């Protein structure tokens, strides 16, 4: 039995789809079905119920899935340990983060980590939140960082930073002179929003709904950097994490106004695949990211 076959079975169990599994492994659906049949023949049991859509694991299939995941994790750990013995190559920790967290929140944690492990390569890449969940679940990334994390039975989700939300506006906007602001003042204001499927948009919409405040979205973007540019030209106001606009506030291109109603925050979270085997270095970094002092 090859490791690639175990990977294929685990992906089939995760996707619950022959077509998606075939696409990921660059195979035909027939080839995926044949490899599954060979596994069932070798172990003399049915692993997947094919009559249901989406497909489901049998009891034997669930046991096989857990064992296959464990074997793949242990093999990954072995490769990493062997890799670390090669003194000519640094150990690498792969982090996937949304851009705002990677750029504005991670630096201090990485500096602290590097004091202890200066030779470890902490590799950070930026992706959309949906892509980060996929990469962490597939084992391609050791750690993921997202805003407004969602629960998933396949993931361990840890609290990261609660980011203070403020009103962001151009210095030319009529509200720019306010020291603090009641959220009701945003009623029918021109608003620069996140795209509807971005978790932060859903979170902010929830805040506005609680206060029965209706804004007028005039532009929608999938990232904070573009939203900031639109607010700078006074196309509208927005609600953003304060930490992400400190540079613009310092340079005078944006104003950050706190809300008087309550302390609005955007929760962020750390994603790790449940049961993932970790090197000591990765465990230490995770401990730094999750320590109560943050």
Burial of 188 (0-12, 13-18, 19+ CB in 10 A): exposed
Closest by CA position to 126, among listed 151, 157, 94: 94
pLDDT tens, the chain, 294 aa long:
588 899 999 999 999 899 999 999 999 999 999 999 999 998 999 999 887 788 899 999 999 999 998 898 888 877 766 665 554 445 789 999 999 999 889 999 999 999 988 888 899 999 999 999 999 999 999 999 999 999 999 999 999 999 999 999 999 999 999 999 999 999 999 999 999 999 999 999 999 999 999 999 999 999 999 999 999 999 999 999 999 999 999 999 999 999 999 999 999 999 999 988 788 889 999 999 998 654
Q: Are residues 172 and 241 located together in one domain of the fold?
A: yes
Question: Residue 213: what are its φ and ψ, rounded to 5°?
Answer: -110, 125
Q: Are residues 28 and 148 located together in one domain of the fold?
A: no
Q: Are residues 189 and 244 located together in one domain of the fold?
A: yes
pTM higher than 0.75? no
Q: Are residues 37 and 77 located together in one domain of the fold?
A: yes
**What's the distance, CA 57 to chain centroid?**
27
Domain end, chosen from 50, 66, 84, is at 84
Tally of domains within the chain = 3
How far is it, in rounded angstroms, from Cα 154 to Cα 145?
16
* Residue range(s) defining the domain that contains residue 137: 90-160+268-290
Q: Check: CB of residue 236 under 8 Å from CB of residue 243.
A: no
């Amino acid at each position: 039995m090859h490791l690639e076959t175990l990977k294929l079975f685990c992906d089939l169990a995760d996707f619950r789809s022959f077509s998606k599994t075939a696409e990921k492994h660059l195979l035909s659906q027939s080839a995926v079905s044949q490899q599954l049949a060979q596994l069932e023949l070798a172990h003399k049991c049915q692993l997947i119920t094919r009559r249901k859509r989406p497909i489901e694991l049998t009891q034997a299939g669930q046991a096989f899935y857990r064992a296959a995941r464990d074997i793949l994790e242990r093999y990954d750990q072995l490769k990493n340990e062997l890799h670390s013995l090669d003194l000519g190559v640094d150990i690498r920790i792969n982090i996937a983060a949304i851009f705002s967290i990677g750029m504005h929140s991670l630096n201090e944690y990485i500096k602290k980590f590097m004091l202890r492990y200066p030779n470890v390569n902490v590799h950070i890449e930026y992706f959309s939140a949906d892509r980060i969940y996929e990469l962490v679940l597939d084992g391609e990334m050791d750690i993921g960082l997202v805003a407004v994390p969602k629960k998933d039975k396949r993931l361990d989700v840890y609290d990261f930073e609660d980011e203070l939300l403020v009103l962001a506006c151009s210095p030319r906007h009529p509200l720019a002179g306010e020291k603090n602001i009641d959220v009701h003042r945003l009623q029918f204001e021109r608003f620069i929003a996140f795209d509807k499927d971005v978790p932060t948009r859903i979170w902010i919409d929830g805040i506005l709904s609680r206060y029965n405040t209706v804004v007028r979205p005039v532009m929608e973007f999938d990232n904070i950097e573009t939203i900031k540019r639109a607010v700078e030209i006074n196309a509208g106001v927005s609600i953003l994490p304060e930490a992400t606009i400190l540079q613009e506030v310092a340079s005078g291109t944006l104003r950050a106004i706190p809300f008087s109603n309550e302390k609005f925050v955007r929760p962020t979270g750390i994603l790790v695949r449940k049961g993932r085997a970790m090197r000591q270095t990765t465990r230490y970094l995770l401990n730094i990211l999750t320590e109560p002092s943050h």
